[in-house]
Amino acid sequence: MRVRVHRVTSYQDPETGRPGKLIELVEVRKSASQFTGMSEESMIAQRMIQGVFVQLQSMGLVPPISKDVILPKMTLILSEEEYDRLNVRFEVNEEFEVEFKDSKISFTPA
């Protein structure tokens, strides 16, 4: 699965007081509006709804809608030592392929 780094923050373990990192990863999927094989009526209805949303957004009544759907996927809470041993540097908006195999998690830059 592909994930994007949403947030990286400093973290202090409340029990030990040791510093660490809190890394929030989100899964990004394409929106459902990109289906192929839509009927003519469906495409007309979709354009009408998009037009109404654009008008409501221009009036400030509806927040902007992203083309991608962002789904919270994984939060890593790591000590500084664990973060160093992971040997992956997470930067906000960077994308990774995550693989779960043989009881291990691997992060490969996308």
CA distance 96 to 110: 5
CA distance 8 to 77: 10
Could you list the beta-strand ranges (E) of the chain. 2-12, 19-30, 68-79, 95-101, 104-109
The Cβ of residue 23 has, within 10 Å, a number of other Cβ atoms equal to 21
pLDDT class of 35 with cuts at 50, 70, 90: low
CA distance 24 to 46: 33
The model's pTM is 0.63
* Percent of residues, the chain, with pLDDT higher than 70: 84
Domain layout of the chain by residue ranges: 2-109
What mean pLDDT is reported for the chain? 85
